[in-house]
Amino acid sequence: MTLSVNTNLGAMIALQNLNSTTGDLEKTQLRITTGLKVNGPKDDASTYAIAQNMRGDIAGYHAVKTAMAGGESTVNVAINGGKSISDLLIQMKAKVVQANQAGLDAASRTALHNDFVQLRNQIETIVATAEFNGSNLIKSGASNLSVLSTVDGSTITVSAQNMSTTGLSIQSASLLTSANAQSALTLINTAMVTLSDKLANLGSSSKRIEIQSEFTTKLVDILDAGVGNLVDADMAKESAQLQALQIKQQLGVQALAIANRNPQTILSLFQGG
């Protein structure tokens, strides 16, 4: 091998190897820091593109879950309002039955009627306040609720259920006379059946939303796992690789130092004997 003070081939080779080791070490440190083996398209263009598309789907499904959670809450508020109305109808029926007993005096009938009216007014109060995020499914004239269920825009439609006294046809019921009380009993019995049907409809819609929400949650978990399989780093492997590269880097530094000392041997050629 030619000895030259201008060209140190050994140092060049040692430096190239050291630079290569340092680059590999930086990549391994990045993987350990981020937990990802694919941090960008430079690492693996096709895998990165696939993972990004899947991340987009995941973001879309999270938006769907949020929409369904809001829809489910709206329906549940309506259901709870209907349950409270059902309890009030039971109390109203008790008043009506009392008003239908024989020989009831006028004062007692008036008192029962007043109690009956107060309970009916409470139904209207519940109907007016059974609202979530601006939606009320049980008031008179309520609109149907469309709940986003998929990323392609499909929806679950929840039909509005009028649970007001008008919707239950008890707005004019009275207990002031025996005939009124008999008529009120029929109206209350019919209202209780009608309300049960309305609650059943809301319950079915709520269950459908719940099932779809659970499916969406499972789907998001599967997609998350899929993205992880594509881009997540094997931390045990990276840890072993890190230690190996650190040792290799130290050896590279030593090799470069040795190569840099080689030209000094030329000086011995010119030293006088």
Please state the domain extents for the chain. 9-35+233-269, 51-231
Report residue 3's pLDDT band, with 50, 70 and 90 as the boundaries. low
Structure-model confidence comparison of residues 253 and 154, the more confident one? 154
DSSP 196: H
Work out the percent of the chain whose per-residue pLDDT is above 90.
Answer: 64
Rounded Cα gap, residues 243 and 29, in angstroms:
11
Rounded Cα gap, residues 179 and 186, in angstroms:
11
> Which amino acid is present at 82?
G
Q: Where are the alpha helices (DSSP H) in 156-177?
A: none
Q: Which helix (H) or strand (E) holds 202?
A: helix 178-231
Query: Which two three-digit tokens encode residue 140?
Result: 């008179």
Query: Which two three-digit tokens encode residue 216?
Result: 């969406």
**Highest-scoring range by mean pLDDT, 54-63, 97-106, 238-247, 255-264:** 54-63
**Residue 272, SS3 per DSSP:** coil
Report residue 23's pLDDT band, with 50, 70 and 90 as the boundaries. confident
Residue 57: Cβ within 10 Å count: 15
Position 89 scores a pLDDT of 97
Residue 273 has pLDDT above 60, yes or no: no
pLDDT tens per residue across span 69-96: 999 999 999 999 999 999 999 999 999 9
Q: Which of 195, 196, 188 is nearest to 172 (CA)?
A: 188
Report residue 272's pLDDT band, with 50, 70 and 90 as the boundaries. low
Query: Which two three-digit tokens encode residue 268?
Result: 């011995």
Distances (CA, A) of 6 to 27, 43, 252, 257: 34, 38, 22, 17
Position 87 scores a pLDDT of 97
Looking at domain 51-231, what is its CATH homologous superfamily?
f41 fragment of flagellin, N-terminal domain (1.20.1330.10)
pLDDT tens per residue across span 24-63: 788 888 778 888 888 888 888 999 999 999 999 999 999 9
> Which amino acid is present at 218?
K
**E strands, the chain, in order:** 145-148, 155-158
Secondary-structure percent of the chain, ordered helix, strand, coil, rounded to 5: 70, 5, 25
pLDDT tens per residue across span 188-218: 999 999 999 999 999 999 999 999 999 999 9
Position 165 scores a pLDDT of 95
Report residue 145's pLDDT band, with 50, 70 and 90 as the boundaries. very high
Q: Which of 18, 10, 11, 9 is nearest to 248 (CA)?
A: 18
